[in-house]
Chain A
């Protein structure tokens, strides 16, 4: 009995087909064995593949979104992974809506160029919501192995601050120290005065008042 579930957002539609895994004790309407999946993204070619590809897609996209919530976008997926996600640097400064995220898919077929898809923030949010629906659907038990969402460490957050801004304070401190030192060196040293001549030895003098008798 073939089952099919669909998850839809404005610019994204995910369909998964599969069968219940009765040997694992799943119900009749629970997909435990994935036979095919298909992801339609508006303005992009349809993606499809096997379970491993869907796992790779989720492993790249969901942690990328996690970092983006903290405003620290960073590339996800190693060069050898079938799916990579990375931010696209802005061509000019500003905060206009633009395709700011790139999904790179390496085909398992030899001699095939990787497929690159660009998303704006809204399309990425649609994709993330589709994948969230899939991973939280009680009718799907595919046992995806996803890294848990965890708080970012301080050094990871620091990357958010541009290097120039991060170095500004220490550089200003060093400059202030250098200027103070230079100014200090320019102040003339007090001229060394000649040592005072040795005072003549004390000679007993007659007291001004006669000694008491």
Chain B
């Protein structure tokens, strides 16, 4: 007991830091692209991902924002890389809801994300898992995104694609759960390179 002298201030609650609410808190086009690509990665990992997202949205209390798959799809179509791309910007409440949804889905799929990233797993098994993930993601990308866009071509490129797909999986693993929300949101709001 003698060496324990540090006490917590009563009002110090690190977890309750308010989110910035300025107009700059809206996601850029690049941020919307990455957000939708991460949601697409979730769908590639979970075959029933589309339905699971709607269910998860209602569990998180976003039932009014995303009551069905169509409403969710409409919000995701603000991704400029989409074939059926919508113009305009999403409100901060909508992007926050999408990010929360993404974090919750990543939490649910964390064991799979971990397997993909772990060096302790046998190499052939890891390669097979990546191969399966890549083939599903490529299929979804071809189906829903505009193949004439440079970003989509990069994602499908056999040289460049695997590196980008790994970044998506790594981002999902580190952004999973409630603790990942701020991290993921800050990353999606990065300045354009």
Contacts and interface: CB of A to CB of B under 8 A. Distances in A.
Interface residues of A, number: 58
A133 B179 contact: yes
B47 interface: no
Interface stretch (B12-20, B53-61, B69-77, B136-144): B12-20
B189 A151 contact: yes
Interface string B104-129: 00000010011101111101001000
Interface in A128-154: 128-129, 131-133, 135-136, 138, 141-146, 148-154
Residue among A24, A120, A126, A129 having the largest count of chain B Cβ atoms under 10 Å: A129
Which among B8, B171, B184 has the greatest number of chain A C-beta atoms within 10 A? B8
B29 to A, nearest CB: 14
Given A97-B118, A97-B119, A161-B193, A68 B7 contact: no
Contacts, number: 143
Among B13, B117, B119, residue most surrounded by chain A Cβ atoms (within 10 Å): B119
Interface of B: 1, 3-4, 6-10, 12-15, 17, 110, 113-115, 117-121, 123, 126, 162-163, 166-167, 170-171, 173-180, 182-187, 189-193
Contacts of B121: 97
A69 interface: yes
The 5 closest A-B pairs by CB, nearest first: A132-B179, A143-B12, A122-B118, A121-B117, A149-B186
25 contacts: A21-B7, A24-B7, A24-B9, A24-B10, A26-B10, A65-B183, A69-B174, A70-B190, A71-B167, A95-B162, A96-B123, A125-B114, A125-B173, A125-B174, A126-B114, A129-B177, A132-B180, A136-B15, A143-B12, A143-B14, A148-B17, A150-B186, A152-B187, A152-B190, A161-B193
